[in-house]
Chain A
């Protein structure tokens, strides 16, 4: 059956903000899906609250709703747009759950909307553990032995049956959220209760553990004529018990014979048919008993997933794109294979290379969180690498993580490999527990003489993988012992994936020396195509990876070309927003006829879609890998300012190697980062800075702090996301900071600033062509100074900063841009205190807020930046004046605290959010309300607010409490806060603190008697009480704020929500309003109340 003509308009549901378990991969899938549907002539409506995505750029859909991805909002959009069909399979579990809710409530039927891609029954059977188990039994397949519990009492009985360890899997959650492995009754109770709380239907499956079994995944697609193909097999290096998102995974499967693989394939075909995915894709996870090959079905997701994104990148088969076409009626054999362009999509990709995916974690941001890997996903990003062998891909994947390790290398310090001492007993003990560092502990174990058999016994990692790793250890020994290294020796090591840095370390050389020698000897990488067919057909798509085999493909075109360096694995502080900028640049330059060459290692992203750039190098973003590509391609220049810190860190070494950096000169980046140089510039321009200094040693730091006065903000230079940034109140704390944070500072000094308490903060983004500077936007932070800008909600245009101060910030930003010679983007952060505007920092590069501003004002700033970097003027690209919207856009951050329960969920100068959402409305209250709803912080319209604030905040809490009282809320407060409120005539009910007796604040939260918690931290030494209260709020999904400014904004939002239901409006509609508004005069911008 070809294209369905009974459907005209389709709603695609996005996945909302980036959270652990649901990340950039859904921007990739959603972007592909909307493109594919538009290509077929459908009118596409899109909803996604995440402004940092490419899919929400207005050209990708006809009607783009940056609105909360909740059943209420989606129904409002359906009511307004009246689509014929809803495609729910591109937006992760969020989209599936919303679609299922709307199907169950009858809303879809009422609005005459059909679910395409996966029907409600398929979604339900795949997610409901009971129905799924029955479906598998029907087709003769086995699931883990487990039972369903909906109460703790039921779970207690089940434990008798499963014994320990037991696996707890909540229904309808993403990334295994709320799940876990319980080894004893205490852990079991905690895990079950948490799972029941997290599951929207309060259902958990409790399974007998298959820990130690081998784990595999298949990506499967089926069309409406029941044709089924397997796109990719994936084998997990880590055995069962570690979430697949947290496991190193390998494609294709390495240790299955054809008989075993085909048995799995047969099972997968039977499963997709039985579950009834009519036209689309699914991911199926299997466990295999290593002792006898017994096959168990773990789970099936009837939608695109992180694994399907990985499989798409691993094979060159664009699953989401094809899935969207299948959903509208096409058969697989009617869709062309986009890589070969001569064969159809009805085939199974074959690989003539090996792909390894490595997870990236962020435990350094959550020091109290448990680093043990379980069935609940904890990683925040991933790298993918392609090599001709497992060993090559494995080493490339690990160096692509950008954690400082040059490959599969042990850390210099034992504690960085999570070992408390160097004894064999400690190592053996550590190896039994999966943590992010276990893979490096394995290397230590080989170096210490442990055998493959012993390591298999300790880790349950398949002996084949362990033997591969052992080969690497043996090769290192051999190489280190060579009297001299010849070309063949180097080539042998390079073919095993060793980086120059690793080779240098083995022989006490420097990376530069190794590279020079290698180049002299002509040992250079070759580049091969990912072509879906192992070379059987010619391919016209230059999707490339590097290796040290003989033949290179897709030579330099000779056209004018630009290399764009991507942002590597997602991490906190460097996420999808930078990928967004790189993609914009690629699209813009392509349109200008410049050959765009993308380099990136992140499989989740849009930038690594082979469709985005003219040439894609799926390679690690290290100096070695990038230099080889630049040498080969001889581009006009390299763009480094759009991909965050990853490319920025390469700027100076690339420049030193003679590579031309496009746009802002590297020296300007240095001038902005070098505190002394920057201070000079600020002084020269007459811009105030908080008193500050730099230090390379503790003694120096103490002196600086003494001079500028405590509290001080300390941080290492050249970091993103406020890594290791802290507010320090005294000398003791500063000493402590130096002891802990020394590792992140490398050889760069620590920056020490006077911390401006109670200041307003603002971000200004601007673009410059070297002559003209145009402001992109001025954003006010909602949280106070001291909270990382990435974690603070912010509002555009500002609503509490006066026009005069805004004018000063604009003027400063322009002055900095000119003085630094910026060509491209610049971001400046300011604090305003007592009528003075202080500059906090200036970054001559794309900032995290670029996509948000671009969406708010309808101007693709990153596209324009790429064009000015390649020589066009702002006048030529048509952007010469700041646009100030006559509406309000609010950005709110989204945090992973529910995954790291042990961690205190307060905000600070170190960034901890994983994603962001955007709310747009005509007034601040409603925009903030939408942002909160989109972030999952449903604000109460009535009920009780519990206040417990620190002394410093007591004065400011009064007006907020009065407003809540006026809105009819019941006010609760702990003793100190209550006394203060009562003394000012506000009636409150007193609540015990935890140590004061019962029922206390936590009891009330647990019992559902608190609907909003307003809790500002009490400082270092009195944290115990409020720590547990905030954690209780997270566990019981009670909205909370930890700053008064956010509380005040929440109050505005509640008032707005009580005054009427929020409307929905597409970006295209907002932008039309903006275009119809006369340009505001600089400095008197609208938005101030």
Chain B
């Protein structure tokens, strides 16, 4: 549990704001969009969530690493974030499940981390000005290489990151004899979604993002799932046609986060980039049908245009959930087809479990359609 040697490091934002801290990581500077999450627990899940691909994540919780890392909590096979900014990285850990310390794991995963930063100041900056691209690196001041890299860093808008992060080939998950078969489009899927399907008596075939509707339908799915994932949904140009074709075959479709956005795009809705997104585990969402409030896990920088009143451009879709804080659209369903999606993360990990009943609800739809 020794604390690794740190060196001076910096974070430079595209607007010129500079933060100094202590740096752990490689010599090469890291450029990415800088976002913050307010989750107080679940850093390992966050760092391994493929939706954070291409992002430097600022943790607003000030002490990170306290309970170490373990083999059960990762949401994918590796760390996915580009970099991490924290107020304090705990040099020691204590937890009965822990198998090692966070710093060591990050080093092994080659993820740079900047510590000792006034993360609240940084968060307030991002909140008021919107997310910015930034460069993270070693040294007191960013060098020319770092500045050049930052210049070259593309905007998240228009970036199709999902296609790149998706699985190269299909794989199966869960009990092969389970009664229901779900085909899950992997745009950056989190493992806990697969675990929850498995727990709901499903076997899952995870397929690459570019899988055609024909190929997917050929697998004879009882339901098709559209996963979460990183980047701009509007940039995944091939997805809407595929989704429409599957929907037309009356296969129940469930989308989460990016999957939800793709569903919306498929039926005519538009997506927009949000100023700083929703990332954390405390976002209140109202279920319009019941008036019930769900505390949800969220991680998105784009949103489907729309509100409780309706979804512009998509007459066949209706809003099912809205965010209590800012009124943004959090869920929708198709008026005629067994198709729905939510912007938040019912699978949590990390985050509260309030929205888990969506899985059984989807499975009921699947069962009805199948039987």
- Give the distance to chain B from A169, nearest Cβ to Cβ, in Å: 27
Q: Is A544 an interface residue (CB 8 A)?
A: no
Is A551 a contact partner of B118 (Cβ separation < 8 A)?
yes
- Give the distance to chain B from A496, nearest Cβ to Cβ, in Å: 10
Interface residues of A, dominant DSSP? loop
- Give the distance to chain A from B187, nearest Cβ to Cβ, in Å: 23
One digit per residue, 1 when the CB lies within 8 angstroms of any chain A CB and 0 when it does not, for chain B 284-295 equals 101000011101
The residues of A that contact B280 with a CB separation of less than 8 Å are: 350, 534, 536
One digit per residue, 1 when the CB lies within 8 angstroms of any chain B CB and 0 when it does not, for chain A 297-324 equals 0000000000000000000000000000
Q: Is A229 an interface residue (CB 8 A)?
A: yes
Is A550 a contact partner of B282 (Cβ separation < 8 A)?
no
Is B284 a contact partner of A528 (Cβ separation < 8 A)?
no
| Residue of A354, A390, A549 with most chain B CB atoms under a 10 A cut-off | A549
Size of chain B's interface in residues, with CB distance under 8 A?
A: 54
Given A257-B42, A352-B119; 9 other pairs, CB 8 A cutoff: A226-B292, A227-B292, A259-B97, A332-B293, A347-B295, A350-B280, A352-B61, A390-B63, A549-B118
Is B41 a contact partner of A261 (Cβ separation < 8 A)?
yes
Q: Is A403 an interface residue (CB 8 A)?
A: no
Is A352 a contact partner of B350 (Cβ separation < 8 A)?
no
| Residue of B95, B119, B123, B128 with most chain A CB atoms under a 10 A cut-off | B95
Is A257 a contact partner of B40 (Cβ separation < 8 A)?
no
Separation of A130 and B70 alpha carbons in the complex (Å): 38
Separation of A346 and B282 alpha carbons in the complex (Å): 9
Is A352 a contact partner of B120 (Cβ separation < 8 A)?
yes
205-253 of chain A: CB within 8 A of chain B: 225-227, 229-230, 252-253
- Give the distance to chain A from B5, nearest Cβ to Cβ, in Å: 15
Q: Is A114 an interface residue (CB 8 A)?
A: no
- Give the distance to chain A from B37, nearest Cβ to Cβ, in Å: 9
Q: Is A262 an interface residue (CB 8 A)?
A: yes
Is B352 a contact partner of A262 (Cβ separation < 8 A)?
yes
Is A354 a contact partner of B62 (Cβ separation < 8 A)?
yes
Name the segment of B83-91, B150-158, B175-183 touching the other chain. B83-91
One digit per residue, 1 when the CB lies within 8 angstroms of any chain B CB and 0 when it does not, for chain A 327-352 equals 00001110000000011101111111
Is A229 a contact partner of B295 (Cβ separation < 8 A)?
yes
List 20 A-B residue pairs with CB atoms under 8 Å apart, sorted by A's residue number: A229-B293, A252-B40, A257-B70, A258-B351, A259-B73, A265-B353, A333-B286, A350-B60, A350-B280, A352-B87, A352-B119, A389-B87, A452-B92, A464-B66, A464-B92, A533-B38, A534-B123, A536-B36, A538-B127, A549-B118
Separation of A252 and B282 alpha carbons in the complex (Å): 14
State the A residues within 8 Å of B (CB): 225-227, 229-230, 252-262, 265-266, 289-293, 331-333, 342-344, 346-354, 388-390, 452, 462-464, 467-468, 471, 528, 533-538, 549-551, 553
Separation of A352 and B119 alpha carbons in the complex (Å): 8
| Residue of A262, A293, A331, A389 with most chain B CB atoms under a 10 A cut-off | A262
Separation of A331 and B324 alpha carbons in the complex (Å): 13
Is A225 a contact partner of B291 (Cβ separation < 8 A)?
yes
Is B66 a contact partner of A293 (Cβ separation < 8 A)?
no
The residues of B that contact A265 with a CB separation of less than 8 Å are: 352-353
Separation of A265 and B281 alpha carbons in the complex (Å): 12
Q: Is B93 an interface residue (CB 8 A)?
A: yes
101-139 of chain B: CB within 8 A of chain A: 118-121, 123-124, 127-128
- Give the distance to chain B from A546, nearest Cβ to Cβ, in Å: 13
Separation of A227 and B287 alpha carbons in the complex (Å): 11
The residues of A that contact B91 with a CB separation of less than 8 Å are: 467, 471
| Residue of B61, B97, B120, B123 with most chain A CB atoms under a 10 A cut-off | B120
**Which residue of A253, A344, A389, A551 is within 8 Å of B284 (Cβ)?**
A344
Supposing A389-B88, A462-B94 touch, asked if A255 and B67 sit within 8 A by C-beta, the answer is yes
Q: Is B144 an interface residue (CB 8 A)?
A: no
The residues of A that contact B286 with a CB separation of less than 8 Å are: 333
52-67 of chain B: CB within 8 A of chain A: 60-63, 66-67
Is B38 a contact partner of A464 (Cβ separation < 8 A)?
no
Is A534 a contact partner of B121 (Cβ separation < 8 A)?
no
Separation of A528 and B124 alpha carbons in the complex (Å): 11
246-294 of chain B: CB within 8 A of chain A: 280-284, 286, 291-293
Which chain B residue has the least Cβ–Cβ distance from A348?
B282
The residues of B that contact A463 with a CB separation of less than 8 Å are: 92, 94
Is B282 a contact partner of A350 (Cβ separation < 8 A)?
yes
Is B94 a contact partner of A266 (Cβ separation < 8 A)?
no
Is A534 a contact partner of B90 (Cβ separation < 8 A)?
no
The residues of B that contact A468 with a CB separation of less than 8 Å are: 92
Q: Is B232 an interface residue (CB 8 A)?
A: no
Separation of A936 and B45 alpha carbons in the complex (Å): 54
Separation of A290 and B94 alpha carbons in the complex (Å): 9
Is B293 a contact partner of A346 (Cβ separation < 8 A)?
yes
Supposing A292-B96, A464-B92, A549-B120 touch, asked if A257 and B41 sit within 8 A by C-beta, the answer is yes
Supposing A262-B352, A350-B40 touch, asked if A389 and B282 sit within 8 A by C-beta, the answer is no
Q: Is B332 an interface residue (CB 8 A)?
A: no
Is A536 a contact partner of B96 (Cβ separation < 8 A)?
no
The residues of A that contact B120 with a CB separation of less than 8 Å are: 352, 388, 528, 534-535, 549, 551
- Give the distance to chain A from B95, nearest Cβ to Cβ, in Å: 6
**Sorted from nearest, which 10 A-B pairs have the closest CB atoms?**
A258-B42, A551-B121, A258-B350, A464-B94, A534-B60, A467-B92, A258-B41, A348-B282, A535-B123, A549-B118
Separation of A346 and B325 alpha carbons in the complex (Å): 9
Which chain B residue has the least Cβ–Cβ distance from A387?
B62
Separation of A609 and B61 alpha carbons in the complex (Å): 24
The residues of B that contact A262 with a CB separation of less than 8 Å are: 41, 348, 350-353
Is A350 a contact partner of B38 (Cβ separation < 8 A)?
yes
Separation of A528 and B121 alpha carbons in the complex (Å): 9
- Give the distance to chain B from A33, nearest Cβ to Cβ, in Å: 23
**Which residue of A225, A229, A464, A528 is within 8 Å of B90 (Cβ)?**
A464
The residues of B that contact A534 with a CB separation of less than 8 Å are: 38, 60-61, 120, 123, 280
| Residue of A257, A332, A463 with most chain B CB atoms under a 10 A cut-off | A257
- Give the distance to chain A from B364, nearest Cβ to Cβ, in Å: 21
Separation of A1003 and B124 alpha carbons in the complex (Å): 70
The residues of B that contact A256 with a CB separation of less than 8 Å are: 41, 67, 95
Is A388 a contact partner of B87 (Cβ separation < 8 A)?
yes
- Give the distance to chain B from A534, nearest Cβ to Cβ, in Å: 4
Separation of A252 and B67 alpha carbons in the complex (Å): 14
The residues of A that contact B351 with a CB separation of less than 8 Å are: 258, 262
Separation of A292 and B280 alpha carbons in the complex (Å): 28
Which chain A residue has the least Cβ–Cβ distance from B294?
A227
Q: Is B15 an interface residue (CB 8 A)?
A: no
Separation of A289 and B124 alpha carbons in the complex (Å): 38
Which chain B residue has the least Cβ–Cβ distance from A529?
B120
The residues of B that contact A333 with a CB separation of less than 8 Å are: 284, 286, 293, 324
Separation of A227 and B355 alpha carbons in the complex (Å): 12
Supposing A226-B292, A258-B42, A262-B351 touch, asked if A389 and B63 sit within 8 A by C-beta, the answer is yes
Which chain B residue has the least Cβ–Cβ distance from A389?
B88
Supposing A258-B42, A467-B92, A551-B118 touch, asked if A350 and B295 sit within 8 A by C-beta, the answer is no
Q: Is B206 an interface residue (CB 8 A)?
A: no
Supposing A389-B63, A390-B63 touch, asked if A346 and B324 sit within 8 A by C-beta, the answer is yes
The residues of B that contact A332 with a CB separation of less than 8 Å are: 293
Is B94 a contact partner of A255 (Cβ separation < 8 A)?
yes
Q: Is B319 an interface residue (CB 8 A)?
A: no
The residues of A that contact B214 with a CB separation of less than 8 Å are: none
The residues of A that contact B39 with a CB separation of less than 8 Å are: 258, 350
Supposing A226-B292, A535-B124 touch, asked if A255 and B66 sit within 8 A by C-beta, the answer is yes
Separation of A452 and B2 alpha carbons in the complex (Å): 13
- Give the distance to chain A from B49, nearest Cβ to Cβ, in Å: 12
Is A352 a contact partner of B295 (Cβ separation < 8 A)?
no
Q: Is B349 an interface residue (CB 8 A)?
A: yes
Which chain A residue has the least Cβ–Cβ distance from B94?
A464
Separation of A260 and B324 alpha carbons in the complex (Å): 27
Is B325 a contact partner of A347 (Cβ separation < 8 A)?
yes
The residues of B that contact A257 with a CB separation of less than 8 Å are: 41-42, 44, 67, 70, 73, 95, 97
Separation of A337 and B256 alpha carbons in the complex (Å): 28
**Which residue of A227, A292, A353, A528 is within 8 Å of B293 (Cβ)?**
A227
